[in-house]
Chain A
Amino acid sequence: MSDRLDVRKTYKLLINGAFPRSESGRTYEVLSEHGDFLANVAQGSKKDVRDAVVAARGAQTKWSSASAYNRGQVIYRLAEMAESRRAELGEHVGLAEGLGAKQSAKSVARAIDRIVWYAGWTDKIAQVFGGANPVAGPFFNFSVPKACGVVGVVAPQESSLEAFVDAVLAPICSGNSVVAVASERRPTPSVLLGEMSATADFPPGVLNILTGATGELAPILASHEDVDGIDLSGLDEVVANELHALAAGSIKRVYRSGHDAPASTRRLRAFIETATVWHTIGQ
């Protein structure tokens, strides 16, 4: 054992590319699966949600109008960052989920491979989900999938990294910006991923991560009228039902199923809008 004292880290929020403490000044204690103290994590508030949504809105147009190639590069860069910090991620996933070293390493590997999968999707989405439509008339008619805008993500509670990767990258790779509420009890792997995103050329505001009480933050996100879609997969059914009804206030797109097969594109499609353009064809 080293006699050197650890330098501990403060786990903060990620809003608009910066790592602020919660505006409320609150933190909460995160314990490992075995009940050991892990960290004091920022406990986000209503105003943090507000700020994160403003940041996400501000970043969204530019992110979605960046070339799909560019978005793919950025996401792939995140995989590179994660790869180089596999050990650290593995340690956190292990502590958070109570997994042994081998299992947590496998989980991290799957998560990174998933990031790569999404990196490859960015410039396929339009071809797979869009295309030309043979209308009966002198029109060139084509459908383009577009981002739906700002997506709120209530990340799954159990899977601290893998599920988080899926939940945030599915909307991001199609050009949405995201305000994510991390797993309440197991937030540190997602906070780490957020830190990596900042060094992976993610434009500020594209990915915002809030830690704190899911029960406090999720309703604010669900009722926020400037949030266009919401992933409720981190909530139990009763709460998800309530928030789904709240989300209906502004006709949000709502994604709830958390059990899609890995190859499913359901989550990807949940936050895509098909825009169809007609143009006349004539001399």
Chain B
Amino acid sequence: MFIASVGRVSTVPLRLVVPDEIDVVIARSTDAPIVESEAQLRTVLSSLSGVDAVGVEARAAKLATRSIKKSTKMSAIDMAISMVDLTTLEGADTPGRVQSLCTKALRPDPRDLTVPSVAAVCVYPDLVAQARRTLAGSAVAVAAVATAFPSGRASMAVKLLDVREAVAAGADEIDMVIDRGAFLSGRLGQVYEEIVAVKEACGDAHLKVILETGELVTYDNVRRASWLAMLAGADFIKTSTGKVGVNATQPVALVMLEAVRDFAETNGRVVGVKVAGGIRTTKDAMKYLVIVNETAGSAWLTPQRFRFGASSLLNDLLMQRLKQQRGAYVRPDEFSGD
């Protein structure tokens, strides 16, 4: 069945298949292909091409030299704002803080109604209800990190309960973590099963699977983990929790975008990518958008398929936006802290 279609060797006659041409619907879990055995999963993952670290880093660095100016910059800033998952994931989070974050998410710059809302607010599960209340009736989604975020070190039962409670409290999106320990020690079937189970527990909520690429270390692992997550039914694959030393990097994003592009080509299902952790400046955001643009293509340049998990990035985007409009640099204090 689907196994035959994910091999690297294409049997289709030569013609351009551009991901953009594919009529894309974010898939439901029932559409997700099922791997029937761990052996099958291994076959698929080991058939993936390796990644040359030097090459991928050079490519990302080259794309980072793209110069985004004038109207492109303006539209890219708005695009980036609309892709932000405005995030607060601190032990000190309170309903009050979440409420003010949600207010900001809805209307990032209250003086300028042309500024789009962000894509989602991302919180811990116990604060989902608060976020839901503030965002009720809006297009801004509520995302919850779950499955014993950020380490994922809990029993399966606890992880699933975590997910179900968040969904019950009104989460539209669940950001789960994979078991990196299992992945690194080769228990790929276990990682796969967990994602399938969480996807099931999500119901209608979209599932973002956090690979925690900083702990997977190699690009080969990032590529395999991306495919594993997509095969298991992820709606999004996400780089990082933001809680470890190395978070999203441009080469990692490049590898993940190649993965979603190739997966869409071979399986016809489009999976989104979320980069998270350490993205603070407009300049960085622009670089990621360029990578999306020139790797997966314009079909991914929408909040349905690309997200920034960030908190301070939003204010920098707003500052740069205002600077573009005014033609002069603006104070950080022009915008609310959160």
Q: Is there contact, CB below 8 Å, between B55 and A283? A: no
**Residues on B close to A: CB < 8 A?**
52-55, 57, 217-219
- In the complex, the 4 A-B pairs of residues with the closest C-beta atoms, listed nearest first: A282-B53, A280-B54, A283-B218, A282-B54
- Min CB distance B222 to A, Å, is 11
The docked-state distance in angstroms from the alpha carbon of A280 to that of B53 is 8
Contacting residue for A280 out of B55, B217, B218, CB 8 A = B55
A137-B54, A139-B54, A283-B218 known, 11 other contacts, Cβ within 8 Å: A138-B57, A280-B52, A280-B53, A280-B55, A282-B53, A282-B54, A282-B57, A282-B219, A283-B53, A283-B217, A283-B219
A-B pairs with beta carbons under 8 Å apart, 19 shown: A137-B54, A138-B53, A138-B54, A138-B57, A139-B54, A280-B52, A280-B53, A280-B54, A280-B55, A281-B54, A282-B52, A282-B53, A282-B54, A282-B57, A282-B219, A283-B53, A283-B217, A283-B218, A283-B219
The docked-state distance in angstroms from the alpha carbon of A282 to that of B219 is 10
| Chain B residues in 8 Å Cβ range of A138 | 53-54, 57
The docked-state distance in angstroms from the alpha carbon of A200 to that of B219 is 54
The docked-state distance in angstroms from the alpha carbon of A178 to that of B248 is 59
**Residues on A close to B: CB < 8 A?**
137-139, 280-283
**Taking CB as reference atom, which chain B residue is nearest A281?**
B54
| Chain A residues in 8 Å Cβ range of B217 | 283
- Min CB distance A211 to B, Å, is 55
The docked-state distance in angstroms from the alpha carbon of A283 to that of B217 is 8
The docked-state distance in angstroms from the alpha carbon of A137 to that of B54 is 9
| Chain B residues in 8 Å Cβ range of A282 | 52-54, 57, 219
**Taking CB as reference atom, which chain B residue is nearest A138?**
B54
- Min CB distance A154 to B, Å, is 47
The docked-state distance in angstroms from the alpha carbon of A281 to that of B55 is 10
The docked-state distance in angstroms from the alpha carbon of A276 to that of B57 is 23
| Chain B residues in 8 Å Cβ range of A137 | 54
| Chain A residues in 8 Å Cβ range of B55 | 280
- Min CB distance A12 to B, Å, is 56
**Taking CB as reference atom, which chain A residue is nearest B220?**
A283
The docked-state distance in angstroms from the alpha carbon of A282 to that of B220 is 11
| Chain A residues in 8 Å Cβ range of B53 | 138, 280, 282-283
The docked-state distance in angstroms from the alpha carbon of A23 to that of B11 is 57
| Chain B residues in 8 Å Cβ range of A281 | 54
| Chain B residues in 8 Å Cβ range of A283 | 53, 217-219
**Taking CB as reference atom, which chain B residue is nearest A280?**
B54
The docked-state distance in angstroms from the alpha carbon of A139 to that of B57 is 13
The docked-state distance in angstroms from the alpha carbon of A137 to that of B61 is 13
Interface centre among A137, A138, A139, A283 (most CB of B within 10 A): A283
The docked-state distance in angstroms from the alpha carbon of A180 to that of B207 is 76
The docked-state distance in angstroms from the alpha carbon of A282 to that of B55 is 9
- Min CB distance A141 to B, Å, is 12
**Taking CB as reference atom, which chain B residue is nearest A283?**
B218
- Min CB distance A77 to B, Å, is 45
The docked-state distance in angstroms from the alpha carbon of A10 to that of B52 is 63
| Chain B residues in 8 Å Cβ range of A139 | 54
The docked-state distance in angstroms from the alpha carbon of A199 to that of B54 is 51
The docked-state distance in angstroms from the alpha carbon of A280 to that of B57 is 11
- Min CB distance A152 to B, Å, is 42
| Chain A residues in 8 Å Cβ range of B218 | 283
**Taking CB as reference atom, which chain A residue is nearest B217?**
A283
The docked-state distance in angstroms from the alpha carbon of A282 to that of B218 is 9
**Taking CB as reference atom, which chain A residue is nearest B53?**
A282
The docked-state distance in angstroms from the alpha carbon of A137 to that of B55 is 12
| Chain A residues in 8 Å Cβ range of B57 | 138, 282
Interface centre among B52, B53, B218, B219 (most CB of A within 10 A): B53
